[in-house]
Amino acid sequence: MEVTARAPGKIILSGEHAVVHGSTAVVASIDLYTFVSLRLSTSENDCTLRLLLKDVGLELSWDVGKIKAALPESDGFDSSTPTTCTREFSEAISALVAEQNIPEAKIGPAGISAFLWLYTSIRGFEPATVVVKSELPLGSGLGSSAALSVALAAALLASLSPGSLDSSKQGWLDFEDDKLDLLNRWAFEGEKILHGKPSGIDNTVSTYGSIIEFKSGNLTMIKSNLPLKMLITNTKVERNTKALVAGVSERTLRHPEAMASVFRAMDSISTEFSMLIQSPATDELAITENEKKIAELMEMNQGLLQCLGVSHAVIETVLRTTLKYKLTSKLTGAGAGGCVLTLLPSLLSGTLVDKVIAELESCGFQCLIAGIGGKGAQVSFISTS
């Protein structure tokens, strides 16, 4: 039996940076996924755990006996109780990763460590082949690492108790709510290895899908009544998120009053954004009206982000290009590169979208089209017997 899980990426629709200073952020899943397939070994002679990272063309393998020997003794594994990787485990896992001599440019060792931790914690030392593929560009603020943690935990948990899912059904199956909670907590443990101190937003959005309002550490799931579509332009300019967040904090220290008002404005924009998404829009006219308001909020939010000093010449290039086609854009995430969102109104012609994309791609950018606020983690079974 092979189980494949998929988990979506995310975008910040509104409130990035300001969220660090107490404002509301609105974060949504996108219908671009990371896929993790797990096939347990059926041959008794096979003692290998294989990890195939399709996107970077990397194949790693370990002897499960050697993994067991390398890791500290533990009281046994309990997949129903997510635990944090201890320093002792972390060091042992790092040594197992280091053995593989992974070319540095291909993938960070933290991703492999997170894999080994989640795999051994949930499935122990069973030989298997795990294949990872993703539609999400890595490290560009679209939640690729959380999607990996979620999809991996989803595949592992689903393989443990396939009975809880109706595996006779074709296509993508939803998890039950309690399983989603468990999955989210495991994915958060993976994120800790990947990011140190994750906010938990990315794995939560990837697990549950939909749209989440985040304020002062509190998450509220909201239901979208507006089928939004965004063009995501990956500028491929790498940025240092920590330095950008620190830069905003320093500006806040230099101009406390002005910045407090800017954060309040961003909070209002997020709240309004969230209300617009939830408000029932039944006919085309109402949808178009709400899309116009959302475009205006995006324009305002972009201005405020420029006020925080986190824009970048390459982001302005995307804004200028999409504005030529009367489309509104804003940066998403940390800024200073990364990705830019452009609202694609529901009545926009496909020809125009093609033109915008062609022009953006001619600048060397990568363009993705994403539906907003869809499903979270799901699994699919293929019987290999």
Greatest alpha-carbon span in the chain: 68
Could you say which of 211, 228, 294, 297 contacts a copy of itself (CB under 8 A)? 297
Applying CB under 8 A, what is the total number of residues that bind a copy of itself? 34
Residue 196 has, within 13 A of its CA and on its CB side, a CA count of 1
- Of 323, 352, 363, 382, the residue at the interface with a copy of itself (CB under 8 A) is 323
Choice from 20, 138, 160, 307 touching a copy of itself (CB under 8 A)? 307
> Within 13 Å and on the Cβ side, how many CA atoms surround 255?
11
Options 157, 308, 344, 377; binder of a copy of itself; rule CB under 8 A: 308
Asked if 109 and 94 touch (Cβ cutoff 8 Å), the reply is yes
Instruction: Choose one: 27-35, 72-80, 123-131, 315-323; the region binding a copy of itself (CB under 8 A).
Output: 315-323
DSSP secondary structure of 61-126: EEEHHHHHHHSPP-S---TTS--PPPHHHHHHHHHHHHTT---TTT--HHHHHHHHHHHHHHHTT-
Instruction: Pick the closer one to a copy of itself by CB: 111 or 338.
Output: 338
Residues in 80-99 that interact with a copy of itself by CB under 8 A: none
- CA dist 219 and 27 (Å) reads 10
- Which residue in the list 181, 202, 283, 354 is annotated as catalytic? 202
Chain-centroid distance of CA 349 in Å reads 29
Least Å distance, CB 305 to a copy of itself, is 7
Closest contact distance (angstroms) between CB of 328 and a copy of itself is 10
Interacting span for a copy of itself (CB under 8 A) from 78-86, 114-122, 172-180, 308-316: 308-316
- 368, 335, 340: which is closest to 135 by C-alpha? 368
- CA atoms of 302 and 331, how far apart (whole Å): 7
Give the burial class of 354: count Cβ atoms within 10 A of its Cβ; 0-12 exposed, 13-18 middle, 19 or more buried: exposed
Distances (CA, A) of 279 to 10, 211, 264, 297, 343: 22, 14, 23, 15, 18
Let me know if 178 is a catalytic residue: no
Least Å distance, CB 337 to a copy of itself, is: 15
Among 166, 296, 354, 361, binds a copy of itself (CB under 8 A): 296
Shortest spacing between CB 259 and a copy of itself, in angstroms: 8
CB of 304 to a copy of itself, least distance (A): 5
Q: Are 7 and 267 in contact (CB under 8 A)?
A: no
Q: In angstroms, give the least distance from the CB of 268 to a copy of itself.
A: 4
Contact flag: residue 286 with a copy of itself (CB under 8 A)? no
Q: Count CB atoms within 10 A of the CB of residue 66.
A: 14
Report the residue from 172, 293, 346, 375 that binds a copy of itself according to the rule CB under 8 A.
293
Of 275, 313, 358, 382, the residue at the interface with a copy of itself (CB under 8 A) is 313
User: Rounded to 5 degrees, what are φ and ψ at 93?
Assistant: -65, -45
Segment 237 to 276, residues that bind a copy of itself, using CB under 8 A: 251, 254-255, 257-259, 261-262, 264-265, 268-269, 271-272
Nearest to a copy of itself of 22, 303 (CB atom): 303
Q: For 265-307, give the DSSP string.
A: HHHHHHHHHHHHHHS---SHHHHHHHHHHHHHHHHHHHHHHHH
Separation of alpha carbons 73 and 256, rounded Å: 52
Quick one: 4 or 302, whose CB is closer to a copy of itself? 302
- Under rule CB under 8 A, residue 197 binds a copy of itself: no
Closest CA to 205 of 22, 370, 38: 370
Among the listed residues 111, 108, 82, 44, the one whose alpha carbon sits nearest the alpha carbon of residue 180: 82
Select 257 or 283, whichever has its Cβ closest to a copy of itself.
Answer: 257
3-state secondary structure 311-339: CCHHHHHHHHHHHHCCCCEEEECCCCCCE
Nearer to a copy of itself, 313 or 382 (CB): 313
Interacting residues with a copy of itself (CB under 8 A): 251, 254-255, 257-259, 261-262, 264-265, 268-269, 271-272, 293, 296-297, 299-309, 311, 313, 316, 319-320, 323
Active site residues: 202
